[in-house]
């Protein structure tokens, strides 16, 4: 005889706590946070649309791009001009430096020539005659040349003092030309005064533009004081006809 034993079914026993999983809900603070973010983003967009910078249209953006390109081209052009001017200035500076160097060399050469000439001139002055009867400043020697038909007259006059002094002499040289016209009329033509200043000697040369046909026979030379009134010396000088 076979005896079958059946398994006992589990008897339900109520537990003190319910262990079943409940469905999870989104926390309320997360919902509040999301709502705040949405409201903040919307506010920012509203402010930008109402008070912020307006967005450019396609045409405006293209126009702005073209203007920027034009400004860039103008800037490059100006920079090129500045570079060209800079190169020109550098070239001019180099050229000026060469000119200055050349002038200095010429000046040095001229000084080398002038120095011995001054020494020879000083020796020549020592041989010039000086007559104290005519004053402290004298007309030592002179040369006047004029063509036979008159006109321009070239001259060279040496003013001389007896010896070098501590102070220079300052005054005026006044020349007047006595001559004759082809008609036989005699006339004296004055010339403008010439300011003179020297210590020991002074050569004065020049050309008097006299009328054509006026032949000078002699020249009156006066040396006046600085005030132009007091006469220091006076000489009558002959003229050589060429």
Q: What is the pLDDT of residues 59-106, one digit of tens each?
A: 877 888 888 888 888 888 898 889 888 888 988 998 998 999 889 988
Highest mean pLDDT of the ranges 105-109, 130-134, 189-193:
189-193
Residue with tokens 């000078």: 216
> H or E segment at 23?
none
Asked if residue 144 and residue 102 are part of one domain, the reply reads no
pTM: 0.51
pLDDT range class, residue 189, cuts 50, 70, 90 = very high
Q: 6 lies in a domain?
A: no
118 or 23, greater pLDDT: 118
Question: Residue 9 domain-assigned?
Answer: no
Using the predicted structure, report yes or no on whether residue 55 has a pLDDT greater than 60. Answer: yes
Question: Per the structure, how many domains does the chain have?
Answer: 2
Q: Which residue has the higher pLDDT, 65 or 39?
A: 65
pLDDT of residue 220: 94
pLDDT band for position 24 (cuts 50, 70, 90): low
Same domain, 218 and 120: no
Least confident range from 34-38, 45-49, 65-69: namely 45-49
Q: Taking 80 as the threshold, does the pLDDT of residue 10 lie above it? A: no
Same domain, 76 and 151: no
List, as one string, the DSSP characters of 218-240: EEEEEEE-TTSSSEEEEEEEE-E
- State which of 92, 127, 162 marks the end of a domain: 127
Residue 189 is part of a domain; what is its CATH number? 2.60.40.150
Task: Locate all alpha helices (DSSP H) within the chain, ordered by sequence.
Answer: 28-50, 58-127
Residue 171 has pLDDT above 90, yes or no: yes
| Among candidate residues 219, 149, 155, the one with its CA nearest the CA of residue 188 | 219
Helix residue spans in 128-212 (DSSP H): none
**Whole-number pLDDT of residue 49:** 66
The pLDDT score that the predictor gives to residue 47 is 66
């Amino acid at each position: 005889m076979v005896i079958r034993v059946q398994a006992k079914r589990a008897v339900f026993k109520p537990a003190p706590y319910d262990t079943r999983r409940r469905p999870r809900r989104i926390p309320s603070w997360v919902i509040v946070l999301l709502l705040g973010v949405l409201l903040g983003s919307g506010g920012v967009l509203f402010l930008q649309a109402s008070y912020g910078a307006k967005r450019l249209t396609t045409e405006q953006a293209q126009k702005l791009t073209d203007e920027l390109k034009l400004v860039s081209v103008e800037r490059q052009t100006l920079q090129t001009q500045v570079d060209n001017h800079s190169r020109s200035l550098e070239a001019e500076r180099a050229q000026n430096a060469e000119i200055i160097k050349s002038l200095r060399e010429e000046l040095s050469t001229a000084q080398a020539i002038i120095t011995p000439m001054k020494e020879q001139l000083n020796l020549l002055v020592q041989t010039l005659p000086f007559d104290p009867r005519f004053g402290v400043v004298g007309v030592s020697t002179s040369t006047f040349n004029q063509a036979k038909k008159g006109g321009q007259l070239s001259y060279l006059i040496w003013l001389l003092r007896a010896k070098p002094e501590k102070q220079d002499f300052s005054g005026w040289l006044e020349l007047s030309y006595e001559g004759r016209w082809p008609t036989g009329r005699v006339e004296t033509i004055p010339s403008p005064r010439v300011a003179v200043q020297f210590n020991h000697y002074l050569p004065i040369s020049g050309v008097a533009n006299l009328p054509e046909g006026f032949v000078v026979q002699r020249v009156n030379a006066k040396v006046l004081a600085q005030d132009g009134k007091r006469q220091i010396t006076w000489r009558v000088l002959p003229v050589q006809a060429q």
